[in-house]
Amino acid sequence: MKKILNQKVMGIIALALVCVFAGTVIGASEPAANAEEKVVLTSPFTEAIAKVRDSVVGVNNYQIVNNNYGGYGGYDYFPWNYFGFGNGYGNGYGNGYGRNQPESSEEIKYGSGSGVVIAKDYVLTNYHVVEAAHSLKISIGDDEENLFDATVAASDENKDVAVLHVPGLPLEPVEIGDSDELVIGDWVVNIGNPIGFTGTATAGIVSGLNREIASDNSAVDKYGRSSKVVNSMIQTDAAINSGNSGGGMFNTAGQLVGIPTLKYTGSRYSSNATVESIGMCIPINEAKDVIEEALSGKGEEQQPSADSETPDASRNDLKGKPRMGVSVSTSDGQGGAYPKGVYVIEVEKDSPADKGGIKEGDIIVEVNGTVVSSVSEEVEIVSQLKEGDEVAVKVFRPEKVTDAASGRISTDGEYIDLTVTLAMLDAVNQ
């Protein structure tokens, strides 16, 4: 009897403890239930994405193609596929070589990427998204019927940046941020149209800054010298896929801080390598000069004027005229290894050229602001001047000159601005 009583007492005590614990939990939850504001768990990206998502558009590149172009039956044949530019074109660079060609010449959508509205009627994107386009059209969301015509207002191929003018585009511009303020570990969001999924947002962090990425293309300057293009980029693990190119990288305040441009794949390094979550974005500060050019109207395309023929000046025409005091020949640039211009074989001692800082092995590329690509062009300019005139001369100076007379100079070098004061000299040299 006593044992049964004890069991009942213990049961009552246990029930009381449960009620106490339950009462404690219920009591603790009552303030939240009665509070005017509910606690809502959200990500740090929700507000930023809602703020800017509608301002990210599709950029569609239309080109004229025909059945003689040389399609490869839908295979991504070309070897540059290893460098996965995410632009949705069917291969690394987005030029549509991998697609089947139509049977007759016609304009087709060759590829599509993304863009961001950065001002009223203006969209920022990648140059490679709009490259070689016969026409450009902007799409909003999933609406493929109502397209807006676009033209390139300003671009920089080396930076891989383009700004498009899109009259009547009914979208609000995003706020442009400062990419110099980014630090490794900052949260970022990429928004674009990967493989046709419009307005897709991916999140991650800034994984690295100032990554020097060399393009597979060479840039040729206005003097004809080619060089490898190296851009400083933001590395992120926020996913970038085919179609993201030209879209936006945003910080958690919804400010545009970068342009998603490319992703790495394993085949660049070895057939067995696996590369994940390494994407590159152009810092927005690198695009600001192109944006300013477009918005100021300075980037409007103009028809190039035809070059007039330059008279072939004879060296004997220099008698009795002021000159610089150099022996020269024409530099053809050797296929871009050097700039085209006037190659300096010899510099007379104490001549205007010598006093002005011109050296043997230099290549004169500009005279008084005019680009010169031959001796005759340089002579024509100088022959119009008089003794005592100051001449602004830009030269390419190689890092190493082994033998100027035989043209043995290094391909590495820099452009230097000099000033030469013309004088009367007895010799017939320039």
- What was the pLDDT predicted at 6? 53
For the chain, give every domain's residue range: 1-41, 44-298, 315-421
Cα(224)–Cα(266) distance, integer angstroms: 35
163 has pLDDT over 90:
yes
151 has pLDDT over 90:
yes
216 has pLDDT over 90:
no
| CA-wise closest residue to 263 among 194, 196, 311 | 194
Please state the rounded mean pLDDT for residues 96-120. Answer: 75
* pLDDT, greater one: 31 or 55: 55
Q: Quick one: 348 exposed, middle or buried, by C-beta within 10 A (0-12, 13-18, 19+)?
A: middle
12 has pLDDT over 60:
no
Q: What is the CATH number of domain 315-421?
A: 2.30.42.10
201 has pLDDT over 70:
yes
94 has pLDDT over 60:
no
Q: Are 149 and 167 in contact (CB under 8 A)?
A: yes
Please state the rounded mean pLDDT for residues 286-290. Answer: 94
Cα(163)–Cα(123) distance, integer angstroms: 6
- What was the pLDDT predicted at 101? 47
- What was the pLDDT predicted at 3? 52
- What was the pLDDT predicted at 266? 57
81 has pLDDT over 60:
no
Instruction: Give the catalytic positions in this structure.
Output: 128, 160, 245
Task: Please give the share of the chain, as a percent, with pLDDT higher than 70.
Answer: 70
Q: Are 74 and 21 in contact (CB under 8 A)?
A: no
pLDDT, mean over the chain: 77
Please state the rounded mean pLDDT for residues 362-389. Answer: 91
Confidence of residue 8 (pLDDT cuts 50, 70, 90): low
* pLDDT, greater one: 16 or 284: 284
Q: Are 67 and 101 in contact (CB under 8 A)?
A: yes
First to last CA, the chain: 130
What topology does CATH give the domain 44-298?
Answer: Thrombin, subunit H (2.40.10)
Cα(191)–Cα(366) distance, integer angstroms: 45
Cα(161)–Cα(155) distance, integer angstroms: 6
- What's the Cα-to-Cα distance from 295 to each of 13, 176, 289, rounded to whole Å? 79, 14, 10
Task: Please give the share of the chain, as a percent, with pLDDT higher than 90.
Answer: 48
Cα(302)–Cα(381) distance, integer angstroms: 26
Please state the rounded mean pLDDT for residues 167-181. Answer: 95
- What was the pLDDT predicted at 391? 94
Please, what's the b/e burial string for 416-425 (b: 16 or more CB within 10 A of its CB; e: otherwise)? eebebebbeb
The winner for highest mean pLDDT among 51-65, 70-84, 304-318, 327-341 is 51-65
pTM comes to: 0.57
- What's the Cα-to-Cα distance from 233 to each of 36, 89, 278, 289, 387, rounded to whole Å? 47, 22, 12, 16, 50
Confidence of residue 430 (pLDDT cuts 50, 70, 90): low
